[in-house]
């Protein structure tokens, strides 16, 4: 095809040639012809675009002279080869002219060669991307242990990706995979469910996912997840199936370990009475373990853990203190601990002790708190009882007509002494403070009697028995007068080897005894030491069974420090319980443990153990764990002794207490009464009669002359739950302590302690009016809610820089918190007539964006806003200060109640923050105060943006 081809002597050929020219110019391919000397003889329009030159400048010229940069290019070889060897060729290369990928086709012709060049830059990029995606896919499959498969229905052979071969223990593409081979890899126990799943999917033509085990060529058992889908043709027939297989063995193992760990944690928490929690910052929500829910008196997941809910069931003083402790810990990023009193749904108060720490991100910013909690109610009650007894003992020691002292042999000094007894010898406090060791002997004791006392002191460190040693001696006042004293000394504390560490002395004045030569009793009860409440020992056992499956023993798989201490600090892991403690069978412990296993129950009991050198009371709490046990053991010997001692003291004082009853009854400031329950024929409590009341009774109830009258005679509308509570006390004889409303009687609250009297059907009630405290608690709760809301507003506005976003987000928070129907922000237009609303939060009503006339809503409205006054309309429909037309304007805007808070700056009205309710609504003082504070924060945020 030469340049002169289109000119012909035969005019009849011209239309055909022009048509060919048009066709060659239309095709999206650069087409040109070169003669035997590589000179251009024809160039179409796309070739002109490719060369970026007009064909008139190139026709008749050599391509290599016009474009010398192509001589070293791939196209030179292809074109030369086509001219000289008359070979058709197609190749792809990067053009030296356009610097893009070109597909070049050369076709030999009679006069030279025809060249077709197509730009394939985009195609090449797609191909490279496809290769890269294939590389990434293979890498992802290898990393994620995921392989791909495909099979045409009707064919036995399957396609497996390389990673799928590796998952099954094969080298990639090392053998042909058939359906029988696939099934052979599946674990025999999983083949039936696999067959059934595939058959169901084929029948329903639906995709499926299944997890099963495979046995690799090396014998390893792995767990895989399969997902298969079907390709269905236009006739609804399955053409092929394809899918992915992922090795999830490690994931499953981790899940099983996590389940076992979680189960162990839950059982251990239940056995030890512990709970754990995690709180995201800021403290909006928590995650509780099952044990944590139980510590608060609820079943697991019985409520949504939030700070507000926890505070609502806590003592108000503790809630504030705990928040301060945690806030400080977050600021300092230090561990924390606190004690919180919580009230169970049953009304019981429990002490919850918690330790926790703050978790920070990589940048050191606090992101959460983690903590453990324990119910220490028993310890607190025990400590209270100990303190009570300690106070009782202290009062006794102060009342004893003598001096009690304890001498420590290691410190070589007196560590306790009832010094005030020495004030009778005429010595000052400073002189007494210098007598903490035995220097008082040389100061006060008669010289002739000092040897006896020194002998006593020398013998005490070597004393092997608990015999009480006695010495009588004379003491000399500072003024020289003499009195007789008697000292009794006894070993008070020994080391583990039995060596005396401390001894106790009782020094009494026996002057009158010596003078009258009368004898007095020598026996005195020595004080006993009280030990701290120890932590529990926790053990995890696995069950040991015989050939018949009968339980024959339990083996330790874990024992904590306290459990080991009970065993003499021996290592217990792997040892058998009955071999270490043979006495558990005779003591009944072994049978109770078997019962826990076989009946799948928990057990909590106390036992007196007198074997292997023990003579101790233990509290044992046991729960089942799999085919084993988790048990906590607590040495409660000292508590039992204290209970016995307290019982003896109380028994001895019963008569004295009865004598003092009426004196106490009439002197206490709380109200007190004894009532007799009245029952109906069905045995239900319906009323009660007052038998006795104290003088304070009238002050707390307002009832005069109550004795002999029934409650319903005095107040017919008295709530029925009072009769139910007192009736339950009379029936069960269990005391109760509670707080309850008495709306009909006083319109307020009582705090009540009620207990059954010895006489049947009688209940004693000690109570006080706590209405003022309840009102204070309610005000405190409202204040805390308000501060929390304002903190949320401030935190949100601090992150925003767009005025409209500030308007809307603040309005949204207010609307959601107050349940308002519309909250917004109106900007004054400065014309003393109108304002404009650009955006507002709405709920259940329409938006009112646009320009509004002040006078449409009240002629005095604009003046009030200019003066900075808040305008409140609680009931628009019945507002006597509004005209009918003004009420209609509010009605059209769906406003039943409104409040507007103006922003006035430099005596100019800037804007109005408003809240609308669709129905009438009385704005409380708390709501008004909250809205004023919110408006200030909005304006402050807007000023921050304007300054910046």
pLDDT digits (tens, 9 = 90+) for 121-165: 777 777 666 666 666 656 555 555 688 888 887 788 888 888 889
| 8 A C-beta contact, residue 506 and residue 412 | no
How far is residue 231's CA from residue 241's CA, in Å, rounded to a whole number? 6
pLDDT, position 888? 94
Q: What is the DSSP string of 362-415?
A: TTS-EEEEEEEEEE-HHHHHHHHHHHHHHHHHHHHHHHSSEEEEEEETTTTEEE
Query: Measuring CA to CA, which residue among 498, 494, 500, 473 is closest to residue 485?
Result: 473
Fold for the domain defined by 138-247: Beta-Lactamase (3.30.450)
**Residue 44 φ then ψ, to 5°:** -85, 180
**More confident call, 415 vs 909:** 909
Fold for the domain defined by 668-769: Beta-Lactamase (3.30.450)
Span(s) in the chain for CATH 3.30.450.20: 3-119, 138-247, 254-273+288-375, 391-509, 537-635, 668-769
How far is residue 410's CA from residue 879's CA, in Å, rounded to a whole number? 88
How far is residue 356's CA from residue 615's CA, in Å, rounded to a whole number? 37
Residue 893, pLDDT above cutoff 90: yes
Residue 436, pLDDT above cutoff 60: no
Over residues 884-894, mean pLDDT: 93
Sheet of 221-232: strand order equals 177-178, 157-160, 146-152, 238-247, 221-232, 208-215
Alpha carbon of 870 to those of 132, 799, 917: distances in Å? 68, 29, 16
pLDDT, position 533? 34
Given CATH 3.30.450.20, say whether it is the number of domain 254-273+288-375: yes
Q: Which residue has the tokens 């009304």?
A: 347
Sheet of 500-509: strand order equals 413-417, 402-408, 500-509, 482-494, 469-476
Over residues 571-579, mean pLDDT: 90
Over residues 546-566, mean pLDDT: 87
| 8 A C-beta contact, residue 910 and residue 828 | yes
DSSP 492: E
How far is residue 4's CA from residue 620's CA, in Å, rounded to a whole number? 114
Q: Which of 23-37, 161-175, 403-417, 521-535 has the lowest mean pLDDT?
A: 521-535
521-549 residues labelled b (16+ CB within 10 A) or e (exposed)? eeeeeeeeebeebebbbbbbbebeeeeee
**More confident call, 911 vs 131:** 911
pLDDT, position 689? 95
Over residues 665-676, mean pLDDT: 82
Q: Which of 139-153, 199-213, 496-510, 763-777 has the lowest mean pLDDT?
A: 139-153
Q: Which of 3-17, 120-134, 377-391 has the lowest mean pLDDT?
A: 3-17
pLDDT band at 519 (very low <50, low <70, confident <90, very high): very low
527 token code pair: 């004080």
Over residues 465-470, mean pLDDT: 81
**Residue 349 half-sphere exposure, CB side, CA atoms within 13 Å?**
13
Q: Which of 479-493, 528-542, 842-856 has the lowest mean pLDDT?
A: 528-542
Q: Which of 285-289, 320-324, 439-443, 783-787 has the lowest mean pLDDT?
A: 439-443
**More confident call, 268 vs 388:** 388
Q: Which of 59-63, 162-166, 322-326, 663-667 has the lowest mean pLDDT?
A: 663-667
817 token code pair: 């918190």
Q: Give the model confidence (pLDDT) of 619-635 as tens digits.
A: 888 988 888 888 988 88
The model carries a pTM of 0.30
**More confident call, 562 vs 218:** 218
pLDDT, position 651? 59
Long-range contacts of 44-50 (CB under 8 A, 24+ apart): 47/117, 50/97, 50/98, 50/117, 50/119
pLDDT, position 271? 60
pLDDT, position 272? 60
Residue 743, pLDDT above cutoff 60: yes
pLDDT, position 442? 66
Residue 438, pLDDT above cutoff 60: no
Q: Which residue has the tokens 């955006």?
A: 839
Residue 269, pLDDT above cutoff 80: no
Q: Give the model confidence (pLDDT) of 798-830 as tens digits.
A: 888 888 888 888 889 899 999 999 999 899 998
pLDDT, position 522? 32
Fold for the domain defined by 778-947: Beta-Lactamase (3.30.450)
Dihedral of the CA atoms 329, 331, 333, 338 (nearest 10)?
0
| 8 A C-beta contact, residue 630 and residue 268 | yes
pLDDT, position 660? 56
**More confident call, 815 vs 25:** 815
Over residues 95-116, mean pLDDT: 84
Residue 501, pLDDT above cutoff 50: yes
Percent helix, strand, coil in the chain (nearest 5)?
Answer: 40, 30, 30
pLDDT, position 653? 58
Residue 571, pLDDT above cutoff 80: yes
460 token code pair: 């005490």
How far is residue 621's CA from residue 271's CA, in Å, rounded to a whole number? 6
Residue 419, pLDDT above cutoff 60: no
Alpha carbon of 45 to those of 31, 75, 248, 552: distances in Å? 8, 20, 61, 100
Over residues 326-346, mean pLDDT: 91
Residue 670, pLDDT above cutoff 60: yes
How far is residue 622's CA from residue 629's CA, in Å, rounded to a whole number? 7
Mean pLDDT is highest, among 109-118, 294-303, 896-905, for 896-905
pLDDT, position 186? 92
pLDDT, position 47? 86
**More confident call, 248 vs 676:** 676
How far is residue 264's CA from residue 567's CA, in Å, rounded to a whole number? 23
| 8 A C-beta contact, residue 724 and residue 738 | no
CB neighbours of 234 closer than 8 A, spacing ≥ 6?
Answer: none
DSSP 892: H
Give the three-state DSSP class for 146. strand
Fold for the domain defined by 391-509: Beta-Lactamase (3.30.450)
Query: Measuring CA to CA, which residue among 600, 591, 603 is closest to residue 551?
Result: 591
pLDDT band at 450 (very low <50, low <70, confident <90, very high): confident
* Strand bridging mode 500-509 / 603-609: unpaired
How far is residue 386's CA from residue 473's CA, in Å, rounded to a whole number? 36
* Residues above pLDDT 90, as percent of the chain: 21
Q: Give the model confidence (pLDDT) of 393-406 as tens digits.
A: 666 666 566 677 78
Span(s) in the chain for CATH 3.30.450.40: 778-947
Over residues 652-663, mean pLDDT: 56
Q: Which residue has the tokens 């053998």?
A: 175
Superfamily name with CATH number, domain 3-119: PAS domain (3.30.450.20)
Over residues 335-357, mean pLDDT: 91
Residue 34, pLDDT above cutoff 50: yes
How far is residue 687's CA from residue 710's CA, in Å, rounded to a whole number? 7
pLDDT band at 947 (very low <50, low <70, confident <90, very high): low
Residue 203, pLDDT above cutoff 80: yes
Residue 528, pLDDT above cutoff 50: no
pLDDT, position 626? 83
Mean pLDDT is highest, among 27-36, 437-446, 707-716, 927-936, for 707-716
Residue 480, pLDDT above cutoff 70: yes
pLDDT band at 335 (very low <50, low <70, confident <90, very high): very high
Superfamily name with CATH number, domain 537-635: PAS domain (3.30.450.20)
């Amino acid at each position: 095809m030469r340049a002169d081809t289109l000119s012909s002597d035969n005019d009849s050929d011209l239309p055909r040639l022009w048509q060919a020219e048009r066709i060659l110019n239309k095709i999206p391919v650069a087409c040109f012809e070169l003669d035997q000397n590589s000179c251009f003889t024809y160039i179409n329009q796309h070739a002109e675009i490719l060369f970026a030159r007009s064909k008139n400048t190139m026709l008749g010229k050599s391509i290599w002279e016009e474009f010398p940069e192509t001589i070293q290019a791939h196209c030179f070889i292809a074109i030369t080869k086509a001219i000289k060897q008359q070979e058709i060729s197609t190749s792809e290369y990067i053009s030296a002219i356009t610097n893009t990928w070109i597909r070049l086709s050369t076709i030999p012709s009679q006069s030279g060669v025809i060249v077709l060049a197509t730009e394939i830059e985009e195609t090449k990029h797609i191909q490279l991307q496809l290769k890269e995606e294939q590389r990434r896919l293979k890498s992802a499959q290898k990393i994620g242990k995921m392989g791909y498969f495909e099979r045409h229905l009707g064919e036995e052979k399957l396609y497996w990706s390389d990673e799928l071969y590796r998952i099954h223990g094969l080298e990639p593409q090392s053998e042909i995979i058939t359906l029988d081979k696939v099934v052979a890899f599946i674990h025999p126990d999983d083949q039936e469910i696999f067959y059934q799943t595939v058959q169901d999917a084929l029948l329903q033509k639906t995709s499926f996912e299944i997890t099963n085990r495979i046995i690799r060529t090396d014998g390893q058992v792995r767990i895989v997840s399969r997902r298969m889908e079907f390709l269905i043709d236009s006739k609804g027939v399955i053409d092929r199936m394809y899918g992915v297989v992922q090795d999830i063995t490690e994931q499953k193992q981790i899940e099983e370990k996590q389940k076992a760990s979680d189960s162990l944690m839950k059982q251990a928490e239940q056995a030890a009475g512990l709970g754990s929690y995690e709180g995201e910052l800021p403290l909006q929500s928590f995650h509780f373990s099952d044990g944590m829910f139980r510590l608060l008196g609820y079943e697991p997941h019985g409520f949504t853990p939030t700070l507000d809910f926890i505070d609502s069931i806590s003592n108000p003083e503790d809630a504030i203190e705990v928040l301060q402790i945690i806030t400080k810990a977050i600021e300092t990023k230090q561990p924390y601990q606190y004690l919180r009193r919580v009230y169970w749904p049953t009304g019981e108060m429990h002490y919850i002790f918690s330790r926790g720490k703050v978790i920070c991100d990589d940048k050191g910013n606090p992101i959460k708190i983690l903590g453990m909690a324990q119910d220490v109610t028993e310890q607190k009650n025990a400590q209270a009882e100990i303190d009570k007894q300690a106070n009782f003992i202290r009062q006794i020691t102060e009342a004893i007509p003598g001096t009690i002292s304890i001498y420590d042999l290691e410190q070589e000094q007196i560590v306790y002494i009832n010094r005030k007894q020495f004030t009778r010898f005429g010595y000052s406090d400073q002189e007494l403070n210098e007598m903490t060791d035995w220097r008082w002997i040389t100061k006060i004791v008669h010289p002739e009697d000092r040897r006896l006392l020194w002998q006593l002191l020398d013998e005490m460190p070597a004393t092997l028995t608990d015999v009480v040693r006695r010495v009588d001696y004379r003491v000399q006042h500072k003024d020289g007068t003499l009195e007789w004293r008697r000292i009794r000394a006894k070993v008070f504390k020994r080391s583990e080897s039995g060596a005396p560490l401390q001894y106790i002395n009782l020094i009494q004045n026996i002057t009158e005894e010596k003078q009258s030569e009368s004898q007095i009793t020598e026996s005195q009860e020595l004080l006993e030491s009280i030990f701290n409440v120890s932590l529990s020992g926790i053990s995890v056992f696995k069950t040991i069974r015989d050939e018949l499956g009968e339980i024959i023993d339990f083996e330790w798989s874990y024992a904590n420090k306290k459990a080991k201490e009970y065993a003499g600090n021996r290592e217990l892991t792997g040892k058998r319980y009955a071999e270490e403690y043979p006495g558990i069978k005779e003591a009944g412990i072994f049978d109770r443990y078997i019962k826990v296993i076989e009946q799948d129950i928990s057990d909590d009991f106390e036992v007196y153990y007198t074997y292997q050198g023990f003579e101790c009371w233990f509290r044992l709490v046991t729960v089942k764990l799999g085919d084993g046990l988790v048990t906590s053991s607590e040495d409660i010997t000292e508590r039992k002794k204290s209970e016995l001692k307290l019982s003896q003291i109380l028994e001895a004082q019963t008569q004295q207490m009865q004598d003092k009853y009426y004196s106490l009854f009439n002197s206490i400031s709380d109200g007190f009464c004894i009532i007799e329950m009245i029952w109906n024929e069905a045995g239900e409590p319906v009323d009660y009669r007052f038998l006795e009341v104290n003088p304070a009774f009238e002050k707390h109830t307002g009832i005069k002359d109550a004795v002999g009258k029934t409650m319903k005679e005095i107040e017919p509308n008295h709530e029925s739950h009072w009769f139910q509570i007192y009736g339950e006390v009379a029936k069960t004889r269990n005391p109760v302590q509670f707080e309850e409303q008495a709306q009909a009687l006083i319109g307020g609250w009582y705090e009540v302690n009620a207990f059954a009297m010895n006489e049947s059907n009688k209940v004693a009630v000690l109570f006080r009016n706590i209405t003022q405290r309840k009102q204070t608690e309610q005000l405190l709760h409202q204040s805390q809610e308000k501060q929390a809301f304002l903190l949320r507003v401030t935190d949100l506005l601090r992150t925003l820089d767009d005025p409209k976003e500030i308007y809307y987000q603040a309005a949204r928070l207010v609307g959601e918190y107050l349940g308002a129907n519309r909250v917004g922000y109106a900007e004054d237009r400065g014309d003393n007539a109108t304002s404009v609303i650009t955006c507002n939060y709405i709920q259940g009503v329409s938006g009112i964006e646009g320009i509004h006339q002040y006078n449409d809503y009240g002629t005095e409205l604009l003046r009030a806003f200019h003066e900075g006054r808040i305008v409140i309309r609680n009931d628009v429909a019945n507002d006597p200060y509004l005209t009918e037309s003004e009420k209609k304007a509010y009605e059209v805007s769906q406003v039943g109640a409104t409040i507007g808070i103006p922003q006035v700056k430099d005596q100019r009205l800037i804007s109005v923050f408003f809240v609308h309710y669709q129905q009438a609504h009385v704005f409380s003082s708390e709501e008004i105060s909250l809205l004023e504070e919110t408006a200030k924060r909005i304006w402050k945020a807007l000023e921050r943006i304007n300054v910046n």
